[in-house]
Amino acid sequence: MGLKRTAVSIVLAGIFIVYMFGYPKSARIIPPANPDDPPRLPEGQQRNVLIIGGGLAGMSAALELAERGYQVTIREADSVLGGRLHTRPVERLGQTFQVEHGFHAWFHNYHQFKDIRERLDIDKNFQTWGSNFFRWRKYLPEEISSWGPYPINMLGIVLKSQNLGIVSAMKNQGPLADLMNFDMDVVYDKYDQYTFDEWAKLRNLDTTFYDVMLRPALSVTLNEENTLSAAEMLMYSHFYFLSDAEADKREITRMDYGSAVINPWAKRLQELGARIELNAKVERLLVDDKTGKIIGESSHPEEKYDHVILAPNLQGVEEILTAPLKVDSPAKQPIQKILKDVSQLEIAPPYKVLRAWFDKELENSGSAIFLQVPDFDPVSAIGQYHWHEKESEEWANKTGGSIMEFHLYDWKFGNVRDEDIWGLIAPTVKEIYPEMFERDFKMLAYHVNSYENFPSFKKGLQQYRPNATYPSQCGIPNLSFAGDWLRTSYPSALMERAVSTGREAANHVLLSDHIRQAPFKVCPSRGPGFGSM
C-alpha cells in the first residue's frame, strides 16, 4: 500500500514538474531547398568564388564550396588566418609561443562547428571542460554545472548555489517565463528596444537571481553591459543555457587554436585547391557595368569571379561598401540600400587581452581554468593557460611558473601603454587572487592584444542587422555576407554564428548554381516551455 502511494506520488510529481517546466525540444534540421540537385559541380565546369576575409565565417564558406568543386580564393587582410580565432608566434623568454587572440570555448549547440570539426577530423584536439566558475565582490563564489535531465539540472543549479534559494528562484516564475517560453520568431520584436537590465526591472526579476544567474553572460559578450539588447541576451540564455540540459556543456582545445583548428582547416582548403592569400586587404569591389554583378576587386582587376562572399568584420564590410563606385554603376543603388542599414550598426567598445608569464603557479585558484568575475571591472575573466594548453603546460612544468590571461572587456581607460596595463589592473587582480601578491608573484613577460572589432548588440540594432543573403535581396544576386555580426533566423551566436552564416552564404551560391545545398542542424527556436502541457 505504502509502495503504491509512493509510486503514485512520484508519477504525480513528474506530471507536476513537466506541467511547470515543460520539456526541451530537440535540435532541428533545416534541409536543402534543392535536395534533387547534384551534390557537386559537374566535372569540367569551373566556377570561381572570391571570399573576402579569412575568419571563421569566410573559412566555413570556403570549406563548403571547395568540397563541392568550386575554385575558391580567400583574401585576408591580416598576416594570419582565423580572424578573432587567430594565433600568432610571439617571442618571449627565449622561446616562441603560439599566442591566440584570446581564450575561446565551444558549446553544445555549436552544431555547424561540430560538423566542420568532424569533416576536418580535429575532434581529437578538443577536451571537455567541467564547471563554470564565478567570483563576485557582492556575492559568494559559484561553481555552476548542469547535471541531469531538464528540469532536474535547473533545480540542481539552484540548490547547489551559495547565493540562491529555491524560494527566491520560485519567486521569479513570471520573468523566467520569458526564458522558458523563449520564441526566436517574436523575441526581437518584443524586447530588442529594451536593455537586459531594463527587461529585468520591467519583469520584476529578483536582483540576486538576475546578478548571479543571468547577468554574468553580459560580461562575456565584449559589449557595453548596460546597453545590451534584452532580446539578444534572452536568445543567448536560451542558446547557451536553457534550450537543452546539455546546452551549457563546454569544450576547449588541447593546444593553441592555430594548431588545433585553423592550420588543419587551411591545409584541407589547400588540398581542395583553394588559394589563400594573406596580407591581402580588399579595398573596393568591381562591378560588371551591364549586369550589376560583382566580378572581382580592385587589387586584382584581371581576375573574374562568379560569386563574391563578403566575410570581413563589420568595419571591413562598411569600408569596402563605402569605397567609391562609378557614378553610373548599376550596383550603386543596391549598395546604397545595403549601406543604409549596415551603417546603423555599431562596434562594441575596445577590449584588451593580457597574456602574462609568472614565476609561480597559483595553489588556491578554485581549479578554475577560466574564472568569470562579472563585477570586478576592468577585469572580466582570467584564464589559466598552463592548465589546459599543451605549450603553456610544458613551459609551466619546466619552470614552475604559470601563464595567465586577463580579459579586459569594455576598456574605458583609453590609450594606455602596454607596459602600464598590469599596474592598472593589479589592485583588482589582488582582490580576486590575493595569493599572487601574498606569495609575491613576479611577472616575467607579457603580451597584449588590443582591439576594437567586435559587433555591438546594443538595444534597437536588430532592425538594421542584415542576413547572409541581404545583398541579393537588394539587387546584387552574386554577393552574400558572412560573419558573426549578421542576423540568423535560428538561435546562434559568436563562433557558431560566424560558421553558420558562412554556410548560409555558401548555400546561396550553391542554390543559384543548382548544386545541392548543405543541410543545417540548429538549436530549437522555442524554449522548453513553462506550464506548457
Q: Which residues bind ligand FAD (CB under 6 A)?
A: 52-58, 75-78, 83-85, 101-102, 104-105, 281-282, 311-313, 316, 320, 353, 453, 483-484, 494-495, 498
Q: Which is nearer to ligand FAD, 58 or 151 (CB)?
A: 58
Q: Which is nearer to ligand FAD, 56 or 164 (CB)?
A: 56
The rounded distance, in Å, linking the Cα atoms of 246 and 431 is 33
The rounded distance, in Å, linking the Cα atoms of 479 and 496 is 21
In whole angstroms, the minimum distance from the beta carbon of 95 to ligand FAD comes to 23
Q: Which is nearer to ligand FAD, 407 or 516 (CB)?
A: 407
Q: Which is nearer to ligand FAD, 53 or 491 (CB)?
A: 53
In whole angstroms, the minimum distance from the beta carbon of 165 to ligand FAD comes to 30
The partner residues of 307 in beta bridges, in order of sequence, read 49
Q: Which is nearer to ligand FAD, 204 or 270 (CB)?
A: 270
Q: Which is nearer to ligand FAD, 86 or 293 (CB)?
A: 86
The rounded distance, in Å, linking the Cα atoms of 376 and 115 is 37
- Residue 328 CB burial class (10 angstroms; 0-12, 13-18, ≥19): exposed
Q: Which is nearer to ligand FAD, 180 or 280 (CB)?
A: 280
- All residues at 6 or more sequence positions from 284 whose CB lies less than 8 Å from its CB, including other chains: 297, 298, 320, 323, 324, 325
Segments in 123-261 forming alpha helices (H) = 152-160, 166-170, 173-180, 184-191, 196-202, 207-209, 216-219, 230-237, 257
Q: At 87, is the secondary structure helix, strand, or coil? A: strand
Angle at 404 between CA 406 and CA 485, to 5 degrees: 45
Q: Enter the C-alpha cell of residue 280.
A: 591581402
In whole angstroms, the minimum distance from the beta carbon of 530 to ligand FAD comes to 28
In whole angstroms, the minimum distance from the beta carbon of 485 to ligand FAD comes to 7
In whole angstroms, the minimum distance from the beta carbon of 60 to ligand FAD comes to 8
Q: Hunting for cell 575561446 — which residue is that? A: 104
Strand bridging mode 307-310 / 48-52 = parallel
Distance of CA 126 to the CA centre of its chain: 17
In whole angstroms, the minimum distance from the beta carbon of 224 to ligand FAD comes to 15
Q: Give the chain's length.
A: 533
Q: Which is nearer to ligand FAD, 58 or 477 (CB)?
A: 58
Q: Which is nearer to ligand FAD, 50 or 362 (CB)?
A: 50
Q: At 389, is the secondary structure helix, strand, or coil? A: coil
In whole angstroms, the minimum distance from the beta carbon of 531 to ligand FAD comes to 32
In whole angstroms, the minimum distance from the beta carbon of 59 to ligand FAD comes to 7
Segments in 192-228 forming alpha helices (H) = 196-202, 207-209, 216-219
In whole angstroms, the minimum distance from the beta carbon of 381 to ligand FAD comes to 9
The rounded distance, in Å, linking the Cα atoms of 53 and 297 is 13
